[in-house]
Structure 1
Amino acid sequence: MRRFGRTLVTAALAVAVVAGTAGWASGEGQAAVTGPPPGAAAWRADSVYGRALPDPAGATPAEVARFFAGLDDSARQALVRSHPLVLGNLDGAPLTLRYEANRIAARATGEARYASLAAPGRQVLAFDPRGRGQVAEVFGDLERARHVSVIVPGSDNDATTYDAVRTPHTGPAGMARALRVATGGDAANGHGSGDVAVIAWTGYTTPVGVGLDVAGGRLAEAGAARLARFTAGLDAVGAPDPVLFCHSYGSVVCGLAARDTDATDIVAFGSPGMRADTAAALGTRARVWAARGPDDWIADVPNVRFAGIGHGVDPTSPAFGARRVPAADVQGHTGYFAPGTRSLAAFAAIAKGEVR
C-alpha cells in the first residue's frame, strides 16, 4: 500500500511539473497527421502502361520498390510530374525521384515558408504540408553511403519551423549537419565526401509546448508507426540499416518503434523515458545508448508511467541497462551536438560503426 501511495504521489508530481513549468499548451491536443498525403485518390485512379499504381496506404515499401524497378525513365518522370505530393512521400520509391517530386510539391504550395525546401541541391526525402507539416532531408549521399543515421527530434518541430533560424547545432537540421561534419562529411546538404549520410526526420506530428501531448504517448504511437515505415523504405532502396538518434520526446517515438525497425543502434538523449522499463524490453536487437547532460532540465521530469501520463524509467539509469554516452560537457537540453563535446564525438563513432 505504501508503494502504491508513492506511485500516486509521483504521478501527481508528473502532472504538476507539466502544468507548472509552462502551463498547458492549448485546450486541445495536436491532431496526429497519418496516412498518405492529399492526392492519394488521384494516384490510385491512375495507371502506367495498364498497371495499377501501388496503394500508398497499403503497399509495403518493398512492393513499391519492385514496382518502380519495372518502369522506364519516361514512366517514372510522368509520375513525378502528375503526382509529386504522393510520390515524394512514397517509402520505397527511388531516392532521386522523391527529391525531385518534393521540390515540385514544396514549390506548388505557393507558401513562402516552404520556398527554401524547393531550392536547387536540397535533398528533401519527404514533404507533407498537412497540419503543421512534416519534412525529412538528407545530408550526404544516401545512395552511396556506407552508414546512415536518422535524427528523430522532439517537441515543437515541424515543416513550418524546419528552416527557421536557430541556435547552431540544434533542431533536426542543425543536429544532422553537425553529425555529418563530425563523421567526416561536408557541412552542406549536398553530396560531398564522407561515408555517413544523415537524415533529419521530422516525419511525425510533434507535441507543441508543455501539456498533455508531451506527457502522453498518443503522438509518439502515431510517430512510431511512421518511423517504422520510413526505415522500411530505406531498406527497400538498399540503404544500410540506420542508427537512430532520438532527442527528448523523439526518444519516446523511438522506444515505441524499436521492435519494428532494423536499426543497428538507438541513441536516446535528453530523454523523458522510452515507454519501457529496460533496454531489453524495447524488443530490439539494436544496441541501445543513452545520454543526459548535467544541467538538462529533462532530469526534473519524474520518470513514471501512470494513467497514460509519463514515459517510464530514465534511460540513463543503471536499471534501464543502456550503454552510457559521455555527456558531462553538454550544456542544456539541446547542446548534445555542439562541436567539441564528448557526446558529439561519441555520436560520430556510433554513426560510423566504430564502437563495438
Structure 2
Amino acid sequence: MRRYARTLVAVALATTVVAGTAGWASGNAQQALTGPPPGTAAWRADQVLGRELPDPERDTPSEVSAFFRGLSDRDRQTLVVRHPLVVGNLDGVPAELRYRANARALRSSHDPRYAHLAADPHRQILAFDPRGRGQVAEVFGDLRAARQVSVVVPGSDIDAGTFDRRTDVYGTPAGMARSLYARTGRGSAVIAWAGYTTPVGLGVDAATGSLAEAGADRLTRFDDGLAADGVPTPAVFCHSYGSVVCGLAASRLRATDLVVLGSPGMRADNVRDLHTDARVWAAKDPSDWIDKVPHVEFAGLGHGADPASAAFGARRVPAADAHGHTGYFAPGTESLRAFVKIAEGAHAGLDKRPVLPAR
C-alpha cells in the first residue's frame, strides 16, 4: 500500500513539474503518422513495368530490396520519375535511389517549410515525407562504403521544419549527426532520422507512450531497410523522448549499441527488460532539466526508471561538462568524445558496468 501511495505522489509530482515547466496547454496533441508512404495508391495501380510493384504496406524491406535488385537501371529511374515519394520513403530501396527520388520530390515541393532541404543538391536525403509536420532522414558520409554506421533518433519538437534549425543546433537531429560525423570521419556514416511524429511541447503526448509506440514501429522498419540494403549494424543514439522510442523498439532493433541521453525513461525497469543484445549506454548531465521529472510509469503516464541510474544497469557515459538538455553533442564535451568511441566500436576504455544478472 505504501508503494502504491508513493507512486501516486510521484505521478502527481510529475504532473506538477510538467505543468510548472511549460504548462499542459503548451503541448498540442499530435496524431501519429503511420502506414505506407504518400502516393501508395497510384504506385499500386501502376503497371508501367508490366508486373506488380512491391506493396509498401505488406511487403518487407527484404522483399522490396530483392525486387529492386532485379530491375534494370532504366526501370529504376522510371519508378523514381513516376513515384518519387514512394521510392524515396520505401525501406529496402537502395540508398542511392532514395537520394535521387527525394531530391526530385523536394524540387517539386512548393511548401516553403522544405525549401532549406532542397537548396543544396548535394544533401543525401534518405527519407522525405511532406505529410503533416513533415519527416526527414539525412545521411552524412558514404553509407555504401561505411564500416561503422550510427543513427540519431531525436526527441520532442522535431519535424521537417526544425530538423536542422540554426538555433539550439545540438538539439536537432542534423546538428547531432553532423557533430558526430565530423569526429568519426572516413569509414563512418551517420544518419539523422526524424522519421516519426514527435510530441510538441511538454504536454500529454510527451508524458505518454502512444507516439513512441508508433515511432518504434517506424524505426524498426527503417532499421530493417538498412539491413536489407547491406548497411552495417548501427549504433543508435536516442535523445530525450527518442529514448522512449528506442526502448519500445529495443527487442526488435538491430543495433550494436543503444545510447540514451537526457532520457525520461525507456518504458523498462532495467536493461534486462529491454530484451536486447545491444550494449546499452546512458548519459545525463547535472544541469539537464530532465532530472527534475520523476522517473515513474503509472496508468500510462511517465516512462519508467531512469536509464542513468545505477539500478538500471546501463553503462554510464561521462557527461559532467555537457550543458543543459541539448548539450551532449557539443564539441569538446566528454559525452561527445565517448559517443565517438562508441560509434567507432572503440569503447574499451569507457564504463564497463555490467547489465543486471538474469532472473
Tell whether the structures are fold-level matches, with TM greater than 0.5.
yes
The reply to whether residue 196 of structure 1 matches residue 168 of structure 2 is: no
**Alignment coverage as a number of residue pairs:** 347
TM-score by length of 1: 0.95
Instruction: Report the counterpart of residue 163 of structure 1 in structure 2.
Output: 164
Show CA shifts across 1:103-162 (max 9, x none): 111122212221222221110000001110100000000011001100000000000222
- Cα displacement (A) at 1:167: 3.1
Give 1:125's aligned amino acid: L
Cα distance in 1 for partners of 2:167, 2:64 equals: 36
For 1:101-180, list aligned pairs within 5 A.
Answer: 101-118=101-118, 119-180=120-181
For 1:2-13, list aligned pairs within 5 A.
Answer: 2-13=2-13
- Cα displacement (A) at 1:26: 5.4
**Identity %, equivalent residues:** 67
For 1:12-91, list aligned pairs within 5 A.
Answer: 12-25=12-25, 29-91=29-91
SS of the residue 2:277 aligns to: coil
Instruction: Report the counterpart of residue 249 of structure 1 in structure 2.
Output: 241
Give 1:312's aligned amino acid: G
Show CA shifts across 1:335-354 (max 9, x none): 00111111000000000011
Moved more, 154-163 or 202-211: 154-163
- Cα displacement (A) at 1:16: 1.5
Following superposition, which runs of at least 4 residues in structure 1 exceed 4 angstroms of deviation? none
The reply to whether residue 96 of structure 1 matches residue 96 of structure 2 is: yes
Cα distance in 1 for partners of 2:235, 2:88 equals: 23
For 1:207-222, list aligned pairs within 5 A.
Answer: 207-222=199-214
Cα distance in 2 for partners of 1:47, 1:288 equals: 46
Cα distance in 2 for partners of 1:48, 1:70 equals: 15
5+ long unaligned stretches in structure 1 = 186-193
The reply to whether residue 325 of structure 1 matches residue 326 of structure 2 is: no
Q: Quick check: 1:48–1:75 contact (8 Å CA) kept in 2?
A: no
Q: Quick check: 1:37–1:130 contact (8 Å CA) kept in 2?
A: no
Q: Quick check: 1:276–1:312 contact (8 Å CA) kept in 2?
A: yes
For the aligned residue pairs, the C-alpha RMSD in angstroms reads 1.1
SS of the residue 2:117 aligns to: helix
Cα distance in 1 for partners of 2:62, 2:47 equals: 19
TM-score by length of 2: 0.95
Cα distance in 1 for partners of 2:131, 2:2 equals: 48
Q: Quick check: 1:337–1:344 contact (8 Å CA) kept in 2?
A: yes
Cα distance in 2 for partners of 1:28, 1:338 equals: 29
Instruction: Report the counterpart of residue 355 of structure 2 in structure 1.
Output: none
SS of the residue 1:245 aligns to: strand
Instruction: Report the counterpart of residue 191 of structure 1 in structure 2.
Output: none
Q: Quick check: 2:27–2:205 contact (8 Å CA) kept in 1?
A: no
